[in-house]
Structure 1
Amino acid sequence: MADESDGIEEAFEGQLRVLVSAAGQVGERIARAREDALRRAQAASEQEARELRSRMDAEHRAARAEFGNVHRSDWWDRASAEQIGHTYQVSRAWAQEDPEAVRAEQRIRDELRTRYGVDVDNAGGDPSAVRAAVERAEHERAAGDAERGRSAEENVEAQRLMQQAAHEDHRAAEARAAAEHEPDPEDRARAAAEAEQREVAGERAREDGRAMYDSAERRDATARDLEAKGMDHEVVATRMRADVSQAKPATLATASDAQKAPKARRTRGRGAQVQRAGLDR
């Protein structure tokens, strides 16, 4: 049993050396890419620069939540090599902008040296394995960026549809009032028909908006992203169930009850799917 345990520890340490070596390179590339993107956005327009800064602020908050874990001993007791490597990558990516990232990076270096005898500056990972890990991380990052871009576009379109639905509801209410008070019977009939058409159009736009926001792909991508940041599977599943139960963008949470449509019947199945995914992982 002792030999088996030693073998497992050696395999873990070898994997850790490779992932930490790759994470340092990828983190630096991410930092440079962020600087380049901001320069291009600033050169393009003030509006584009503002939107990019807003997205970066959101990414920064998520990064802080992730690398803040390294100051907890219980996180280190159960962290996988992938989680450690990814968290080191995130801290490296923000080290030039955030003193907390620098502090987290130093804590990672100290823990790796103390717990595993790994010197980050000379990790000694197999060069071919490190190159493969870097390529894999870059591919996953590109795929994640593309998925987040699609999710952002879906969210914008969902909000547009919900605003359209609210507009149709308003026009339907006006037509309904006209149908009740117009003195001419033909005008009342036309107003009643218009009210019905607008109500149908509003309901269709609302359901399309909810379906777009509540897409399975967006939820799966969010769940994968949270788990990649080291969040516990059960916590991810709980957050996804809460997201499913709301079934609408947070920016629309103040909509009146009169404008709320019934939840799509498929929501429950999708929530169960996300929960199972979280438990299976």
Structure 2
Amino acid sequence: MAEETDGIEEAFEGQLRVLVTAAAQVGERIVRAREEAQRRAQATSEQEARELGSRLAAEQRAARAELGNVYRSDWWDRATPEQIGHTYQVARAWSQEDPEAVRAESRMRDELRTRYGVDVNQTHADPAAVRAAVERAEHDRAQADADRVRAAADSAEAARLVQQADREDARAEQARAAAEHEPDPDQRARATADADQRETSAGGAREEGRSPYDSAERRSATASELEAKGIDRELVASRMHADVAQAKPAGEAVKGAPAVAGAKARKGRGRGPQVQRTGLDR
């Protein structure tokens, strides 16, 4: 008599097959999009090419950090299908440029085959479900790109406002010093008023510069990025709450935090956690 199951393991592995298949396709699209972006940047200007190179270098460092999880048994024991799918997508996206990604992809192939019986070359995943997962991943990736552009613009504007505030502070200090050594009462009063006005202007610029950073949109984009890297949603939520209270970058708050998923650990091909919404780039 066949052993009866509650269907959790089968659902977990079915979702995993879909997400791994979709991840491979999205990873290949990312490679092509990156190559096209590099060609456009090089054709535009050396500065744009340098800026793109710097951004890609930062993305590659982040990718290596995420791919380091695949060598940890505890990560595999706790990882959800979405986290596994996203990490496989990252490996595929960098496998043509980074030997570390090649090794990580090979390790994932071995783990997927050993733990779940999933052959990434023949997953036998439902084509319609794969198409839907790819569409969601592409939508989420486009949204993440838009968030990144907006965050970069906010950061640049904040830096400009801080520089403006520094200039106003320096001028206020000069006016204050001039007032102290000014024998004429009227001139002294005007210099003092000028110093007060510039200090007020500097304070306003600094406050305005903090606003783009301390925004709901920035926190939402940061939370999505952290979750995509495998950090538990509850941990991300608590860090974002602390971020609101302390005005501290959430990325710093979770630095070094383990990628956990709140679900009971699995051994071998044991039961996985409750199956989540199918998607890659959450």
Q: Into which bin does the TM-score normalised by the smaller protein fall? A: 0.7 to 0.9
Aligned counterpart, 1:101 = 101
Q: Percent identity?
A: 72
Q: Distance in 2 between matches of 1:64 and 1:235?
A: 22
Offset at residue 186 of structure 1 (A):
1.7
Aligned counterpart, 1:256 = none
- Normalised by the length of structure 1, the TM-score is 0.84
**Which of the pair is proportionally richer in helix?**
1
Q: Distance in 2 between matches of 1:134 and 1:73?
A: 28
Amino acid at match of 1:195: A
Offset at residue 189 of structure 1 (A):
1.3
1:68 aligns with 2:104: no
Offset at residue 217 of structure 1 (A):
1.4
Whether contact under 8 Å (1:155, 1:249) holds in the other structure is no
Task: Specify whether residues 58 and 246 from structure 1 end up closer, same or farther in structure 2 by C-alpha distance, changes over 3 A only.
Answer: farther
Q: Distance in 2 between matches of 1:165 and 1:148?
A: 25
Amino acid at match of 1:3: E
Amino acid at match of 2:106: Q
Whether contact under 8 Å (1:63, 1:90) holds in the other structure is yes
Offset at residue 248 of structure 1 (A):
6.7
Whether contact under 8 Å (2:157, 2:209) holds in the other structure is yes
CA RMSD of aligned residues (A): 2.1
Q: Distance in 1 between matches of 2:152 and 2:28?
A: 25
Aligned counterpart, 2:127 = 127
Offset at residue 224 of structure 1 (A):
1.3
Q: Distance in 2 between matches of 1:8 and 1:157?
A: 49
Offset at residue 247 of structure 1 (A):
2.9
Whether contact under 8 Å (1:159, 1:249) holds in the other structure is no
Aligned counterpart, 1:3 = 4
Equivalent pairs, count: 251
Aligned counterpart, 2:209 = 209
Aligned counterpart, 1:81 = 81
Q: Which runs of 5+ in 2 are unaligned?
A: 251-260, 263-275, 277-282
Q: Distance in 2 between matches of 1:242 and 1:38?
A: 38
Offset at residue 245 of structure 1 (A):
6.0
Q: How does 1:11-90 map to 2 (within 5 A)?
A: 11-90=11-90
Q: Secondary structure at the match of 1:120?
A: coil
Offset at residue 237 of structure 1 (A):
4.5
Using CA pairs under 8 Å that are at least 6 residues apart, name the structure with larger relative contact order, 1 or 2: 2
Q: Distance in 1 between matches of 2:132 and 2:122?
A: 18
Amino acid at match of 2:10: E
Q: Which runs of 5+ in 1 are unaligned?
A: 251-277
